[in-house]
């Protein structure tokens, strides 16, 4: 009886183990799911998969993209508030944060331009300025632009600027401009005044 292993037998064993491992790997890659969205063998899954991996947005679970990006901005605001300001609106022992639990305002640049651009615009502008040779910083609100271009987004954007169709003035602006009859000139003796 020889103490040296049979080379043919060990190759056969490793070959069999390799075939089993390869079969398990291929079988684990295949899954049965919704043929339109989650099946990676279907061409229609490319766009939702790309959007999910780029932004984390899942249309079936997250609702509209405007709501999703609003929630993402709220999560970023909460994280920054907790770490930089040591303030947590969910803590009952701290002062209440005014407006934190209010409903989402219209997705527009005018009620709150800082919220429309947000920190994500600063990050996107920094990445683009670092990647280009010009090195000019332009904050680009990618999430807000994508949400504005979704169905119904332009109407909501315009509602924030001009107000609802039934109201002539936006309820989100602080003052109503005077009518021409109410307008008065402060200094009628001014040499630059052009009037009656």
- For the chain, what are the domain ranges? 43-162
**Separation CA 159–CA 172 (nearest Å):** 10
Average pLDDT over residues 76-93: 89
pLDDT at residue 68 in the model: 92
Residue 52 is encoded by which pair of tokens? Answer: 């999910």
Can you list the alpha helix ranges (DSSP code H) found in 132-184? 142-149, 153-162
pLDDT at residue 186 in the model: 62
**Separation CA 2–CA 183 (nearest Å):** 112
pLDDT at residue 37 in the model: 55
**Separation CA 183–CA 21 (nearest Å):** 83
Segment 15-74, tens digit of pLDDT: 666 666 666 656 555 555 455 556 667 777 787 788 888 888 888 888 889 999 999 999
pLDDT at residue 62 in the model: 87
Minimal CA–CA distance to 153: which of 75, 70, 73, 58? Answer: 70
**12 pLDDT higher than 70:** no
pLDDT at residue 72 in the model: 92
Q: Measured in whole angstroms, how far is the alpha carbon of residue 165 from the centre of its chain?
A: 27
Can you list the alpha helix ranges (DSSP code H) found in 30-152? 46-55, 59-62, 65-84, 113-131, 142-149
| Cβ(181)–Cβ(130) below 8 Å | no
- Ramachandran class of 152: left when φ > 0, alpha when ψ lies in -120 to 50, beta otherwise: left
Please report, rounded to a whole number, the percentage of residues in the chain having pLDDT higher than 70.
64
**Separation CA 6–CA 148 (nearest Å):** 70
pLDDT band at 10; cut points 50, 70, 90 = low
pLDDT at residue 54 in the model: 83
**83 pLDDT higher than 90:** yes
- Phi/psi at 144 (5° precision): -70, -40
């Amino acid at each position: 009886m020889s103490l040296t292993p049979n080379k043919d037998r060990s190759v056969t064993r490793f070959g069999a183990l390799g075939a089993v491992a390869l079969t398990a790997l291929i079988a684990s890659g295949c899954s049965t799911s919704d043929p339109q969205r989650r099946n990676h063998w279907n061409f229609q899954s490319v766009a939702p998969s790309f959007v999910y991996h780029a932004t984390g947005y899942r249309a079936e679970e997250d609702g509209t993209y405007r709501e999703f990006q609003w929630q993402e901005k709220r999560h970023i605001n909460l994280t920054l508030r907790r770490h930089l300001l040591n303030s947590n609106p969910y803590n009952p022992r701290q002062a209440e944060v005014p407006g934190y639990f209010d409903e989402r305002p219209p997705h527009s640049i005018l009620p709150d331009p800082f919220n429309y651009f947000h920190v994500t615009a600063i990050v996107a502008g920094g990445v683009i300025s670092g990647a280009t040779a010009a090195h000019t910083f332009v904050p680009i609100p990618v999430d807000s632009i994508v949400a504005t271009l979704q169905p119904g987004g332009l109407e909501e954007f315009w509602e924030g600027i001009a107000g609802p169709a039934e109201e002539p003035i936006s309820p989100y602006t602080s003052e109503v401009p005077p009518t021409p009859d109410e307008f008065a000139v402060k200094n009628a003796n001014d040499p630059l005044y052009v009037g009656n």
